[in-house]
Structure 1
Amino acid sequence: MIRSKRKTLVIEVNAKGEVCVRAPLRMPISQINKFIGQKADWIDDHVRKMKNKQKERQEAGEEKMPISEQEIKLLKTRAKRIIPGKVRSYAALIGVTYGNITIRMQKSRWGSCSAKGNLNFNCLLMKTPDEIIDYVIVHELCHRKEMNHSPRFWAEVEKIIPDYKEKRKWLKDHGNELMYRPI
């Protein structure tokens, strides 16, 4: 369990099938345990899926070589060259402003947008097709209008990327291959 200055409680299952609970600093442990109990079936299902995927990859000989520091450096350099220009273009199209753009090697997110409008992007986006990079950028910029994933948020995304559901599916289907490659 990781406690931080967050407002919501979330459960994550990583590619190894490990469970992480992220909770607000002051949330009572009884409330956290109740939430975990309510999500027990979801947790079991996702742990089983991740363990099966890991086993399938091992059996298929698809365990990838760890990503090197040199490769991360190259991906970050390329992302810093490509992403800011795309952000500028899409921000103008959407009609929003933004703060700083940061490129990092992240293990669980493709991008994020802070309440102050700062944007973070995963350097591993450089290993995805251009239309996926565009989708992630638009997704994060649309959070400048809606800081949630409500129907209004998705309507904003759809105005720019009409087939955004296909892009989301691509990330769901192929993201693990890129995101969870060991370092």
Structure 2
Amino acid sequence: MITEYRIPGETGEIPVRILRSARKSIGLEVRPSGEALARIPRGLSDRELKAFLERHAGWIREKHALSLKRMDSRLSTGAVPPAELTREEKEKIGRKIQERVRFYGEKMGVSWGTITIRNQKTRWGSCSARGNLNFNYQLYYLPQELLDYVVVHELAHRRYMNHSAEFWKEVERYYPDYRNAREKLKERRLVS
């Protein structure tokens, strides 16, 4: 069973990651990062999968090119590449993000587990079911209001582990201008 298929593109091959599950239909997606995914039924043969991907190769190429164009037009975070960060810079980044988590966590009345700060290729932050918070180090280089929005967003997951209407009300309660912050984050490109 194949786990990746490559479609020839204008600037090289486009890898399509294959995810098998109990679904009945094939789902095809090209994420804003340019990553291509095919969600397929477990019983689908490799031959059927290849035929499907070849039939949709033009669509994949088109969406992939569009996502790369959008990424190129976005503003860089201006972050120092991870390999060039000094220990002092890493500590400074950690202190700043932890300070904002403490500030909003106390305000919101929520607890959290471990705070991890690292380079994430596609995410600004995440919250695990155990309450552990992960933040992209590049948030440090953005205006503080964007860092604060991501912190509030992840802490709101301590009450709602979803993106329901209640979740967004919780975010809005502590960060009223969240819609504007979300739009500004979409305009930013992560440094790899």
Q: What TM-score, normalized to structure 1?
A: 0.70
Q: Which of 169, 173, 177 is 2:187 aligned to?
A: 173
Sort the Cα spacing of 1:95 and 1:79 in 2 relative to 1 into closer, same or farther, 3 A: same
Equivalent position of 1:100 in the other structure: 114
In 2, are the aligned partners of 1:138 and 1:157 still within 8 Å (CA)? yes
Note if 1:50 corresponds to 2:67: yes
2:130 is aligned, of 100, 116, 119, to 116
Please say if 1:162 is aligned against 2:179. Answer: no
Match of residue 77, structure 1, among 91, 104, 108: 91
Residue in structure 2 matching 1:19, options 36, 47, 68: 36
Does residue 153 in structure 1 map to residue 167 in structure 2? Answer: yes
Query: Could you list the runs of 5+ residues in structure 1 that have no partner in the other structure?
Result: none
Cα deviation, residue 13, structure 1: 2.5
Could you tell me whether the CA contact under 8 Å between 2:104 and 2:152 is conserved in 1?
yes
The structure whose residues are more often strand, as a share, is 2
Question: Cα gap change, 1:51/1:155 in structure 2, threshold over 3 Å: closer, same or farther?
Answer: same
Gaps of 5+ in 2: 1-16, 21-26
Q: Deviations over 1:38-92 (max 9, x none)?
A: xx799666423223346768xxxx9x9x925123756532221111121111111
Question: Which structure is larger by alpha-carbon Rg, 1 or 2?
Answer: 2
Change (3 A) 1:84 1:42: farther
State the superposition RMSD in angstroms: 3.6
* Paired amino acid for 1:13: R
Aligned residues: 159
Contact 1:72 1:105 in 2 (8 A): no
Match of 1:130 in 2: 144
- Per the TM alignment, residue 169 of structure 1 is displaced from its structure 2 partner at its CA by 0.1
Q: Check conservation: 2:30, 2:64, Cα contact below 8 A.
A: no
- DSSP-derived class of the 1:98 partner: coil
- Alignment match, 1:89: 103
